[in-house]
Amino acid sequence: MTNSIPDDNSAGDDPADDSAATPSDAKPSTAHVFMEDTEEDIEWPAGKRLLYAMLDAGLDAPYGCTEGECGACQCVVEPHDNATTHMVHNNVLDEYDIADDMTLACQTVSDTPGGKFDVSYDF
Ligand code: FES
């Protein structure tokens, strides 16, 4: 699959994007991303979906539809210190997947300003 960054990943243009409802001075989260043979800490801005934070950081994160419908962006997000996330839309994962910290990166937003998360594609 050839990945190219979708044209529209800016805050406020997508009605399902939480960025417009997030204060612009909200402290970003940090995601420690494990991907193939690399691991890297990236900034995860408040209100921004995880997939776009990774792509903006130059990571070759997998994705397909970017709409929560295909599962190509599926990954594990483990929070530290009671930090939480939510998915804006999910038409792929069931409650058992979610209980195992599976999420759709294209739909996942941090709920915790300054939160720290481990993100893995090794599952
Ligand atoms: S890219 Fe299709 S569900 Fe995330």
Question: For residue 81, how many other CB atoms are within 10 A of its CB?
Answer: 8
Task: Output the pLDDT for position 123.
Answer: 78
Tell me the CB-side half-sphere exposure of residue 104, using CA atoms within 13 A.
21
Which helix (H) or strand (E) element contains residue 96?
A: helix 95-99
β-partners of residue 41 are: 32
Centroid of ligand 1 to alpha carbon of 86 (angstroms) = 15
Task: Output the pLDDT for position 26.
Answer: 85
Mean pLDDT score, 67-96: 97
Q: Band the pLDDT of 21: cuts 50, 70, 90.
A: low
Collapsing DSSP to helix, strand or coil, 122 comes out as coil
Q: Which two tokens stand for residue 24?
A: 């612009």
Centroid of ligand 1 to alpha carbon of 76 (angstroms) = 14
Task: Output the pLDDT for position 16.
Answer: 42
Centroid of ligand 1 to alpha carbon of 28 (angstroms) = 23
* 52 has pLDDT over 70: yes
- Measure the CA–CA gap between 21 and 18, rounded to whole angstroms: 5
* 60 has pLDDT over 50: yes
Query: Would the CB of 76 count as within 6 Å of ligand 1?
Result: no
pLDDT digits (tens, 9 = 90+) for 100-123: 999 999 999 999 999 999 999 987
Looking at the chain, the whole-number percentage of residues with pLDDT higher than 70 is 80
